[in-house]
Amino acid sequence: MICLTLSSPTLALCLEEIRKNREYIQMAELRLDLLDEEEQKRARLFPAMTDVPVILTLRRKCDGGKCTLSERQRRSLLLDALDGDFAYVDIEEDIKRSEVEQKARERGVKIIRSFHDFTGMPDDIYSRIYKLAERGDVAKAAVTPHSIADLMTLFRIADELRDVPKIIIGMGEWGMPLRILYRKAGSMLTFASSGSEVAPGQLTAEKLSVLYRADKVDDKTAIYGIIGNPVLHTSSPEIHNPGFHAINYNAIYLPFLVDSVRHFFSLAEYLKMRGFSVTIPFKTSVLMYLGNITREVKQIGACNTVVRVPGMWKGINTDYYGFLRPILKDIESGRIRNALVIGAGGASQAIVWALRNRGVKVTILNRTLSHAQELATLNYCGYDKLENARAYEGTVDLVVQTTSVGLYPDFDQNPIDGFHFTGKEIVYDIIYKPKMTKLLREAEKAGCTLHFGEEMLLEQGKLQFEAFTGYHYPKELPLS
C-alpha cells in the first residue's frame, strides 16, 4: 500500500489532501501533532469522513513530530481519538503497556509499534524489529542509512524477518530506493506526501504511484536503476519508467546514491537487478566488475550502461552516440572543426573520443592537469589547465562542458567564469538540471548556438532502453 501522510492543520484540509491523491493511495495517516488544537479534539470523527483506512499517529518531537504535550496529555488525546474507527494506531517502542493499547485492542484497532532514528541505524536492528512485532500487530522501523551497505542491511530484512509484519522506512537520500522498493524489503506500506515532505526523503504519492508504480512491484518485476553521487536530481526515471509501461514490461527504474561501487554490485546481485545506468563519478570505477565490455567501452575507457547477461555483467557506452547526435550535422558540414572540452572525467572520455573519431581537433581543459594529459595522450589531442581557458577565446568552434559544475543545486557556478564568447561558437553543456546553466546563459547573451544536456540525456537514454529491453523506445511517448 501507499499511505498518504496528512500534513494539513484541519480535518477539512486533510480530507482535501486525500481527495486530490485518492487515485494514488490505499491508506492515510492522520498526524494529530500537525493538527490545530481544536481540530485534535475532533479527530475521532475523521475515519468516518473518508473511504480509506486511517492510521492514528501523535508523534512526539523527539521522534520527529510536533507534539510537545506531557505524556499524560498525549495519552488522553489518543484515548479520545480512539473513539473513532481507525484501522491502526502508532505507539512508540518505549511506551509500556498502556490504556491506549488496551483501548485499541478493545476497539479492534491494530497496533503499529515503532521506533525512529534520525541519525543512523542501530546495530541490533533485526532483533529490535522482531521484539517490536512481539508487542504489536506490526513492527515499524524508520531509520537513516548513510551508505549502500546500510541500504543492503535494510533490504535484507525481507529475508531475515520473513514472517514478521513490518513497515521499514529508510529516511534521507540513501533511503529513497527503500521507499520505492518497499515491497522488496517485505514492508506492508510506504509513506508518501501530498507535496511537502513530512519525513526526510519522502516522495509524493503521485510520483510513487504513477512514475514508479511502486505498489505494483512483485516478484517478477525487473529492477533497473542509475548510480551516481549525486544522483537524486536525475531525470532518467522519467525516460525509462514510462517506456517500460508503454511496452507492457513489468519493470521499474530508480536512482541509487552510491558511495562504494563494490557494495552496490552486491546490492544489485541481491535485488537481482537486470541493469543500470552509470553517471558521475563511477563511469570508470565500474569497469573492474564487468565480465564483458563493448568495443566503445574498451576504446573510451568509460562505461555508462551495465546490463546483466548470462553469468556476468556487460558494460556499454551510449554517451558516445547520445552526445554526437545533436551536433553530427555541424561536424559533417565542417562548421565544427575544433573543440574545447571542459573536464576530464568519465563523460569527457566518451565525448573526446567521439569528437576525435569524427576528425575534430580537441583541447581538454581540466583543473587537475595530469588527468587532462592522460586523456589527451589516449586520444591524440591538446590539453591545458582550466585556469588558462581565456587563452582559447575566439579560437574554437565548439565548447563542451562535461563537469558537474553548475549541476543542481549549485546553479550559479561556471567552470570557465569570465570566458568571453564571440557568438560564433556552439556551446554544449551536458548538465540537464538546470537546463539553462550559468555557462549557457553567458553563451546565449553572446549569440552562441546552444545545445542542452537533456538532448544528450534523451538520446543516450533511448539507446540504454534498447539495451535493457531489446525494444526501441516507444515513438508515441512525448519524450520521443
Catalytic residue numbers read 283
All three cell numbers of 329, joined, read 550535422
| CA of residue 333 relative to chain centroid, distance | 40
Nearest Cα to Cα of residue 1 among 248, 240, 167, 122:
167
Sheet-wide strand order for 275-278: 251-257, 222-228, 275-278, 305-309, 312-316, 292-293
Taking a C-beta distance cutoff of 8 angstroms, is the pair 185, 158 a contact? yes
Q: Going by DSSP bridges, is the β-strand pair 138-143/361-366 parallel, antiparallel, or unpaired?
A: unpaired
Sheet-wide strand order for 361-366: 382-385, 361-366, 338-342, 398-401, 426-429, 449-451
Taking a C-beta distance cutoff of 8 angstroms, is the pair 247, 275 a contact? no
Nearest Cα to Cα of residue 253 among 267, 269, 241:
241
All three cell numbers of 160, joined, read 531475515
Q: How far is it, in rounded angstroms, from Cα 373 to Cα 383? A: 6
Amino acid at 415: P
Q: How far is it, in rounded angstroms, from Cα 274 to Cα 313? A: 9
